């Protein structure tokens, strides 16, 4: 941590925990507000609803009509997605898809852990980016391990055309996209110059005596 007033592991814990909790809390609200599942099992107290949230599966037949946040371009709609973020990977055979996506999730977590350890204490931009990727990966992995699909509910579409829309997504997908985008736009650190490369390229002939 090298004297940093706010250690990188503490930052990871805060961003990761906040991201996963926000993802699961909004998925809980999606089941509560966008389906009739809790009413069907007479879950009324917070404890009963939470137990039903983890236990009940395949609720699309119980979905309510979409809720329009801004009718022209944004609505909330309950969807169960067996694919990767933004429905990517639909071309993968169904018997391969689940173990493949679970394996990819664990590989992504390993990637984040490996590179996060190598970051300096003051590389905050990359720390936050990797924390976002980790939170998004784990948020959707929790769904896959419990339900074998991911709960999506955010739909953005072209002006008054719900048939022309971006694939339905969730908070974990958003964290993944933002984190990966941050990694892509961050400038790569410059490699240190080797001892014999200080001179101008045009001086090589003079230095060699040729």
Which residues are catalytically annotated? 152, 173
Distances (CA, A) of 53 to 28, 37, 105, 165, 170: 6, 9, 22, 28, 16
How big is the CA angle at 139 (ends 64 and 90), to the nearest 5 degrees? 70
Question: Which residue, chain included where needed, has tokens 């990761």?
Answer: 16
Q: CA 177: distance to chain centroid?
A: 6
Cite the DSSP H helix spans in 35-123.
37-40, 46-55, 94-118
Question: Which residue, chain included where needed, has tokens 């979905």?
Answer: 63
Q: Tokens standing for 204?
A: 């090589």
């Amino acid at each position: 941590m090298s004297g940093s007033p706010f250690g990188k592991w503490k930052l990871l814990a805060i961003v990761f925990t906040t991201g996963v909790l926000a993802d699961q809390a909004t998925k809980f609200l999606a089941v509560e507000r966008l389906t009739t599942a809790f009413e069907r099992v007479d879950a009324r107290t917070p404890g009963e609803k939470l137990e039903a949230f983890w236990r009940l599966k395949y609720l699309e037949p119980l979905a309510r009509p979409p809720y329009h946040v801004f009718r022209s371009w944004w609505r909330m709609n309950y969807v169960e997605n067996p694919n990767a973020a933004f429905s990517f990977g639909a071309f993968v055979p169904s018997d391969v898809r689940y173990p493949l996506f679970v394996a990819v999730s664990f590989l992504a977590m390993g990637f984040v852990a490996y590179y996060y350890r190598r970051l300096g204490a003051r590389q905050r931009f990359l720390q936050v980016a990797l924390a976002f990727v980790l939170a998004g990966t784990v948020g959707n992995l929790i769904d896959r391990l419990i339900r074998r699909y991911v709960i999506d509910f955010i739909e953005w579409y072209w002006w008054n055309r719900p048939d022309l829309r971006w694939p339905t997504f969730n908070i974990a997908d958003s964290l993944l996209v933002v984190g990966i985008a941050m990694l892509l736009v961050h400038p790569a650190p410059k490699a240190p110059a080797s001892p014999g490369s200080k001179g101008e390229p045009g001086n090589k002939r003079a230095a060699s005596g040729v």
